[in-house]
Structure 1
Amino acid sequence: MSIEAVIFDLDGVIVSTDEKHYQAWKKIADEEGISFDREFNERFRGVSRMDCLEMLIAETDKEYSAEEKKELATRKNNYYRDLLQSLDENDILSNVINILEGLKEKGIKIAVGSSSRNTPLILKQIGLDNYFDGVADGNQITKSKPDPEVFLLAAEKVGVDPEKCLVVEDADAGIEAAIAGGMKTVGVASASSNLKADLKLKDLSVVNIEDLLDV
């Protein structure tokens, strides 16, 4: 069955905000006296903010109330959003625009499926806020990946059946979510080693439109 829509995760696929996430979490960890490094940060890939926070505070004996956890998560997000102010179109990853333009020329619907509630801000910062046929993000869903909700919503927004959708993801949780939604998958970056991905790539700089749609 031919692909009629391609749904892209945002962070790590279209643009890299990994360093900004790391800096924000590192600042929170330092403030709380928790040891945190880049290796620890890798465990946060594709995981919701609150789940990341739970992983972080599990490293300390301190007990946090629900209100304190909420405050920490808000503080982290404020640090992150401040760092996003320096984001621009130069942060779009290699070959992404060529891929997006090529898909548009072929009449393939393009969408974003991201669990991040900062998706609208990120898309605005990189100049792609009115570019996609549909955007599903963390502001519109109740379940994070690996639940397929965000991808099913993206498919609905572009009016394409899930089995005719291809998802491009850099996190294992995203690959699992796409499979759960009945969609084909492309694993890039960290997800390029995921054995369940239909196509595995270092990044989008090493693929052309035909190969992408031939999954």
Structure 2
Amino acid sequence: MFKGALFDLDGVIADTSVYHFQAWKKLIQDNFQQDLPSQLEEQTKGVSRADSLQRILDYLQIEVDTAKFQQLMQQKNEYYLQLLQTLTPDNILPGIKELLRELQQQKVKLALASASLNAPVILEKLQLSDYFAAIADPVAVKQGKPAPDIFLAAAGGINVTPQDCVAFEDSIAGIQAINQAQAFSVGIGSSVELAAADLLFAQTKELNLAQIETSYQQWKEGL
């Protein structure tokens, strides 16, 4: 059995990524009177606030100075926090709470590896804080996803080597980060987008601990 489980937050534990993109759309509309196309949502999944904003501005071919950039990030976070006020345990994605309970029963240590600065607040609103022994601080890592830093920090937070960890992600950048960290990657979503994952489930409700453990053991033997 693996010793650690590392979780992304948005799109894995709860679908808060929807709130992120709603906040980005409002921000760009309020400041630049432009609409964001839906295809940009995938590019902002799993990455930091600064990286998301830069990708959006690059797409729209908008340049701002450092002060304006910081102001836009702060304004977006205010919009996002307003949307989070409606968050409750009902927003936990199907199958996740059951998986967390199973992992806890198996004495697997859990850590959060999210780019979200609001992760502690979100876990509290979802009433899931007690499941996690560590929350990696995205401010403290040098590089965001797809670099492995946040997953390495999460594994370090529970004192488990990455090779002894299984990590859950729904974004391309997140799967790349897990693989670079040399942990076992479990993707949630489209097989086309997340083909690099070691194991893939279409939806959170399909997550199966026995299947994950079997695939992990086969992967570990191949190292």
Q: TM-score range by the shorter chain?
A: over 0.9
Matches within 5 A, 1:156-175: 156-175=156-175
Residues 192 and 200, structure 1, Cα contact 8 Å, conserved in 2: no
Unmatched 5+ residue regions in structure 2?
A: 216-223
Aligned to 2:93: 93
1:99 Cα deviation (Å)? Answer: 0.5
Residue 131 to residue 58, structure 1, CA distance change in 2 (3 Å): same
Does the CA contact (< 8 Å) of 1:13 and 1:203 recur in 2? no
Q: Using structure 2 for the length normalisation, give the TM-score.
A: 0.90
Q: Contact between 1:168 and 1:186, CA under 8 Å: does it hold in 2?
A: yes
Which residue type is aligned with residue 95 of structure 1? G
- Please show how residues 50-89 of structure 1 align to structure 2 within 5 Å: 50-60=50-60, 62-89=62-89
Q: Provide the C-alpha distance between the structure 2 equivalents of 1:77 and 1:38, rounded to a whole number of angstroms.
A: 20
Identity value in percent: 33
What are structure 1's unaligned runs of at least 5 residues? Answer: none
CA distance in 2, matches of 1:12, 1:27: 20
Q: Does the CA contact (< 8 Å) of 1:187 and 1:193 recur in 2?
A: no
Letter paired with 1:49: R
Q: Which runs of 4+ in 1 moved over 3 A?
A: 59-63, 190-193
C-alpha displacement of 1:84: 0.6
Per-residue deviation, residues 179-208 of structure 1 (Å, max 9, x unmatched): 111111001025774222110111221132
Give the distance between the partners of 2:210 and 2:190, measured in 1 at CA: 23
Of 137-146 and 169-178, the range deviating more from structure 2: 137-146
- CA gap of 1:61–1:45, structure 2 versus 1, over 3 A, is closer
Deviation at residue 106 of structure 1 after TM alignment: 1.3
Q: How does 1:109-120 map to 2 (within 5 A)?
A: 109-120=109-120
**Counterpart residue number, 1:195:** 195
Call closer, same or farther: CA 1:194–1:63 in 2, change over 3 Å.
closer
| 2:16 corresponds to 1:10 | no
- Describe the shift of the 1:62–1:199 C-alpha distance in structure 2 as closer, same or farther (beyond 3 A): closer
Change in 2 beyond 3 A, CA 1:115/1:197:
same
Give, in whole Å, the separation in 1 of the partners of 2:62 and 2:134: 42
Moved more, 188-197 or 67-76: 188-197
Secondary structure at the aligned position of 1:38 is classed as: coil
Distance 1:35 1:213, change over 3 A: same
Question: Following TM superposition, by how much is the alpha carbon of 1:119 offset from its aligned partner in structure 2, in angstroms?
Answer: 0.5
Residue 140 (structure 1) shift: 3.3
Alpha-carbon deviation of 1:114?
0.7
Do the aligned partners of 1:192 and 1:201 also contact (CA within 8 Å) in 2? no
Given residue 94 of structure 2, which amino acid in structure 1 is its aligned partner?
S
Q: What RMSD over aligned residues (CA atoms) do the two structures have, in Å? A: 1.6
Give the equivalent residue in structure 1 for 2:221: none
Letter in 2 for 1:96: I
Q: Which residue of 2 aligns with 1:23?
A: 22
CA 1:192–1:156 in structure 2 vs 1: closer, same or farther (change >3 Å)? farther
Question: 1:55 offset after TM fit, Å?
Answer: 2.0
Work out the CA distance in 1 between the residues paired with 2:139 and 2:192: 27
Report the CA distance between 1:34 and its aligned residue. 2.3
For 1:112 and 1:61, the matched residues in 2 are separated by 34
